[in-house]
Structure 1
Amino acid sequence: MINFELYKVFYLTAKSGSLSKAAKELYITQPSVSHSIKLLEDQLKLQLFARTSKGVELTKEGSILFSYIEQAYNFISLAEEKLHELRTFSSGEIKIGGSDSLCKHYLLPFLESFHDQYPHVQINLVNGTTPEIVKQLKEGKIDIGIVRTPILDEQMQVREGITIQDCFVTGPKYRELALGKVSLADLLKYPIILFSSNSSSRKFVTRLFSDHDLMLEPEIELGSVDLLIEFAKIGFGVSFVTKEFVAKELAEGSLFEVNLDAAIPSTKIGIITLRNMPLSTAAAAFIAKLENPVLG
């Protein structure tokens, strides 16, 4: 392939219409410009410039070449400009995938803080279940996934976030469940409200009951944590939720935590990215904020 520097000399000479002006912009001598153009013409086996009393002008062949080189030069300049913007956070975009509940109850404060710090970086949120988020990462549709651990996928790099504790909650109608100890078997006598079957929290609680040789069959399935909370409040049954996400309702007494005699293991929020895939400057900065919430 022809040395790209020759095309650069050709472009600046054609743009200015002068060998001396091109030499000045390139910080080389005029004979060096003439030599480069001659070298390019020899390799292409075409005459690109014709000399005039005012300088040089493009031949027909030179004009055709210039139309292509100009586009390439503009794209290279644009790429350099965009990289500068990304490096200085004057531009950029982060695509983050997560469930509605994690976006609302976990991510929101970090998003607000990040936006205040880097107002020109665009943030796009993509909602989905854990399998959907993993799929989106593998397809390159998002940069970061926020999910519940564990994630057993060798293509994923998992950074651990905060620890969360799940629990069963109910409204005033079944408040007795918050008073005395309740076994998992006794809990099944009440209407159970769970998240959709393909969610990680649903699989987690189903496994919990299965480990005690019990089959968990919900009476109601819902698509959002907000609905799980509201349905429990108004007496539809007992919902399985993340305790940290209903702290306000538990404190004000609109929800009551079921007093189980079995311990529910805690889990962690995972910050996942595609392994061996470099992160943009903005995405790396956002992950750093998630990993160091006090410093961020």
Structure 2
Amino acid sequence: MVNFELYKVFYLTAKSGSLSKAAKELYITQPSVSHSIKLLEDQLKLQLFARTSKGVELTKEGSVLFSYIEQAYNFISLAEAKLHELLTFSSGEIKIGGSDSLCKHYLLPFLESFHDQYPHVQINLVNGTTPEIVKQLKEGKIDIGIVRTPILDEQMQVREGITIQDCFVTGPKYRELALGKVSLADLLKYPIILFSSNSSSRKFVTRLFSDHDLMLEPEIELGSVDLLIEFAKIGFGVSFVTKEFVAKELAEGSLFEVNLNATIPSTKIGIITLRNMPLSTAAAAFIAKLENPVLG
């Protein structure tokens, strides 16, 4: 069994690319760093570093090892931070992952309320698609993920948030779509504006059309709900959005909901965490606020 201290020396050397910088951070001498790395290489029977004019760089084998050690180091750091938070609620940190639209239109009021209640807890937001958020959780880089359900991953614990309803919207240019009933097939005669192909929203609406034996091919692909709203407003076409996120625009008449004769199933926002991984006090408090918005 390799001494875990050797892996720490390896990790800090790889991260800094310098024996001297690693030695400084570890409060040991540079020869001690070199000796530790040599011991690790001897035990693993692989060369992990190659010397360069600027310091050291990972070999191919070293890069493979680093990808695993980095995850372990992140989890160890996370464990230390969570133990510290158990001592006091006057400090701490929550790392939350979600899409731009969910952060802005769903999370923002909860974040504001939580910050008012616990002003010393630092909140970090990480934007990404659902697969990216799941990956970040598995790597220990975030505490909580906010995504659209369903999430079919046994490593994830999924708590249900609010129910949301998607719809197609358009601006004044295609206002006739809000008047009479429109079929999915007829809707395809208009320019369709969707999220990028790797988003859960895009996959959801693609399945909707596929279930009706229709091929959905958007004319425009965008990366944020704000752009979907604006493009629909100025007449580029018909956008697929979450109805709750455009309530203001629908009320003021800058957007109109397409009157479909097909039912778009509702979905839920999922609050996901890594199964069997203890939550920090702050993360647990934030999740409780999400699960009980009236009480929170």
> If the TM-score is normalised by the length of the shorter chain, which range does it land in?
0.7 to 0.9
Native 8 Å contact 1:170 1:256 kept in 2: yes
SS in 1 for 2:250: helix
Q: CA deviation at 1:88?
A: 2.8
Aligned to 2:182: 182
Mean alpha-carbon deviation: is it higher for 37-46 or for 211-220?
37-46
Distance 1:78 1:258 in 2: 47
Partners of 1:35 and 1:140 in 2: CA distance: 30
Deviation at 1:82, TM superposition (A): 8.3
Q: Do the aligned partners of 1:86 and 1:92 also contact (CA within 8 Å) in 2?
A: no
User: What TM-score does the superposition give when structure 1 sets the normalisation length?
Assistant: 0.73
- The whole-number CA distance in structure 1 between the counterparts of 2:167 and 2:60 is 77
Task: Classify 1:221/1:86 alpha carbon distance in 2 versus 1 (closer, same or farther; 3 Å).
Answer: same
Contact in 1 for aligned 2:85/2:281 (Cα 8 Å): no
Q: Matches of 2:48 and 2:193 in 1, distance apart?
A: 76
Give the secondary structure class of the aligned counterpart of 2:169: strand
Tell me, yes or no, if the aligned pair for 1:82 and 1:91 is still in contact at 8 Å: no
Question: For the structure 1 residues 190 and 49, does the alpha-carbon distance in structure 2 shift closer, same or farther, using more than 3 Å as the test?
Answer: closer
Distance of 2:219 and 2:150 partners within structure 1: 27
Q: Quick one: structure 1 residues 60 and 243, their matched pair in 2 at CA, closer, same or farther if it must change by over 3 Å?
A: closer
| Paired residue secondary structure (1:120) | coil
List structure 1 segments (4+ residues) > 6 angstroms apart after TM superposition.
1-82
Question: Is 1:129–1:200's contact at 8 Å kept on the other side of the alignment?
Answer: yes
Flag the 1:181–1:54 CA change in 2: closer, same or farther, 3 A.
closer
CA distance in structure 1 between the aligned counterparts of 2:255 and 2:57, rounded to whole angstroms = 81
Moved more, 15-24 or 274-283: 15-24
State the Cα deviation string for residues 177-220 of structure 1 (Å, max 9, x = none).
Answer: 00000000000000000000000000000000000000000000
Gaps of 5+ in 1: none
**3-state DSSP class of the match of 1:261?**
coil
- For 1:198 and 1:64, the matched residues in 2 are separated by 27
In 2, distance between residues paired with 1:114 and 1:229?
28
Closer/same/farther in 2, CA of residues 60 and 231 from structure 1, 3 Å limit = closer
Spell out, residue by residue over 1:9-50, the C-alpha distance to the aligned partner (whole angstroms, 9 max, x if none). Answer: 999999999999999999999999999999999999999999
- Between the aligned partners of 1:57 and 1:237, the Cα distance in structure 2 is 51
Contact 1:87/1:281 (8 A) holds in 2:
no
Q: Aligned equivalents of 1:256 and 1:133: distance in 2? A: 32
In the TM superposition, residue 89 of structure 1 has moved relative to its aligned partner by 1.3
State how far apart, in whole Å, the 1-side matches of 2:220 and 2:252 are: 25
Deviation at 1:70, TM superposition (A): 27
Q: Which has the larger radius of gyration?
A: 1
Cα 1:69/1:180, change in 2 over 3 Å: closer
Question: Is this contact kept in 1: 2:75–2:140, CA < 8 A?
Answer: no
